[in-house]
């Protein structure tokens, strides 16, 4: 028993924490180098370039890539976003309502539309005319796409708004009410404007998610002037039996989504810095 410390002592001396860290770092770099070498040696670069980055195929995507595809992506995304924003705010207010059935309706809606794959909603929308004879979604394909994106987006946006509304201090309502404002007036003038300000960063992220989900419009069976980026890329890719148009569409998404992502984190940062 007495020589226990003695055996522990040399063990510690053999590998200092600094030494251990150096070894760990070296192993990580070695793995990275091995992976890179393997990729460089075994990938068929010529074939990859032929299939994913063929310049003359990419050229065929212009100018419709921007004039039709990107334009439509933005129409679907912005339209769906406006729909989701308005319905989301309404659902959030219902979710926090004193009237119990309103709360139930909001909860059921939010759970269903967050729980289902967005794709399923889009597929259902294509069957709407069968279910409701004579019913037409206004604005045709645009309307259908915007409806699908809006219905799904509203469920997420409702939760964003709920968090914002609940984050407004209770004293704000008390101050408004003690000035003689009605409950509704206090919500509209004092609470909702503050909640919207607070949820600008997460709402920006919601818009990015919605912009990506606009690719699901593909499943509405759109064609011609209604195609958005994903459908556009996919059609051209089939036509030329080459993946380059899909890559081009992907890069176009990133041109929009990455700056928006940075914007969202900038806005978050600013909010954090303010007292």
Residues forming contacts to other proteins in the complex (CB under 8 A) are: 169, 171-172, 174-182, 185, 189-190, 193-194, 197, 274-275
CB 245 within 8 A of CB 261: no
Output the smallest distance, CB 192 to other proteins, in A.
10
CA-wise closest residue to 244 among 35, 65, 11, 21: 65
CB 225 within 8 A of CB 67: no
Output the smallest distance, CB 175 to other proteins, in A.
4
Give the pair of three-digit tokens for residue 165.
């509304």
116 or 181: CB nearest other proteins: 181
138 or 180: CB nearest other proteins: 180
Output the smallest distance, CB 98 to other proteins, in A.
14
Could you count the other beta carbons within 10 Å of the beta carbon of residue 46? 8
177 or 212: CB nearest other proteins: 177
Output the smallest distance, CB 180 to other proteins, in A.
3
Give the Å distances, CA to CA, from 93 to 39, 147, 150, 247.
53, 21, 17, 42
194 or 234: CB nearest other proteins: 194
Output the smallest distance, CB 188 to other proteins, in A.
9
198 or 227: CB nearest other proteins: 198
- Taking the C-alpha atoms of residue 149 and residue 215, their distance in angstroms, rounded to an integer, is 10
25 or 185: CB nearest other proteins: 185
- Taking the C-alpha atoms of residue 100 and residue 107, their distance in angstroms, rounded to an integer, is 11
Output the smallest distance, CB 81 to other proteins, in A.
23
CB 253 within 8 A of CB 66: no
- Taking the C-alpha atoms of residue 46 and residue 57, their distance in angstroms, rounded to an integer, is 16
- Taking the C-alpha atoms of residue 136 and residue 140, their distance in angstroms, rounded to an integer, is 8
C-alpha angle with apex 190: 185 to 196, nearest 5 degrees? 120
């Amino acid at each position: 028993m007495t020589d226990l410390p003695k055996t522990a002592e040399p063990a510690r001396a053999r590998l200092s924490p600094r030494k251990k860290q150096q070894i760990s770092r070296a192993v990580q770099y070695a793995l990275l180098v091995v992976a890179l070498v393997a990729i460089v040696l075994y990938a068929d670069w010529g074939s990859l370039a032929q299939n994913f980055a063929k310049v003359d195929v990419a050229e065929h995507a212009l100018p419709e890539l921007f004039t039709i595809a990107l334009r439509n992506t933005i129409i679907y995304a912005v339209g769906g976003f406006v729909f989701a924003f308005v319905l989301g705010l309404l659902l959030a207010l219902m979710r926090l309502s004193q009237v119990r059935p309103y709360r139930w309706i909001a909860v059921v809606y939010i759970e269903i539309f967050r729980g289902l794959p967005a794709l399923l909603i889009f597929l259902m929308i294509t069957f709407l005319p069968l279910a409701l004879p004579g019913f037409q979604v206004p604005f045709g394909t645009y309307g259908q796409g915007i409806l699908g994106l809006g219905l799904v987006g509203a469920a997420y946006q409702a939760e964003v708004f709920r968090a914002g509304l609940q984050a407004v201090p209770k004293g704000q309502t008390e101050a408004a009410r003690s000035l003689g404002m009605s409950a509704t007036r206090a919500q509209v003038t004092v609470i909702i404007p503050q909640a919207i300000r607070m949820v600008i960063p997460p709402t920006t992220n919601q818009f990015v998610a919605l912009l990506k989900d606009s690719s699901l419009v593909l499943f509405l069976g759109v064609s011609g002037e209604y195609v958005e980026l994903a459908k556009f890329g996919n059609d051209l890719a089939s036509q030329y039996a080459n993946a380059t148009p899909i890559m081009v569409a992907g890069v176009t998404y990133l041109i929009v989504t990455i700056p928006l992502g940075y914007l969202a984190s900038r806005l978050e940062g600013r909010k954090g810095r303010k007292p």
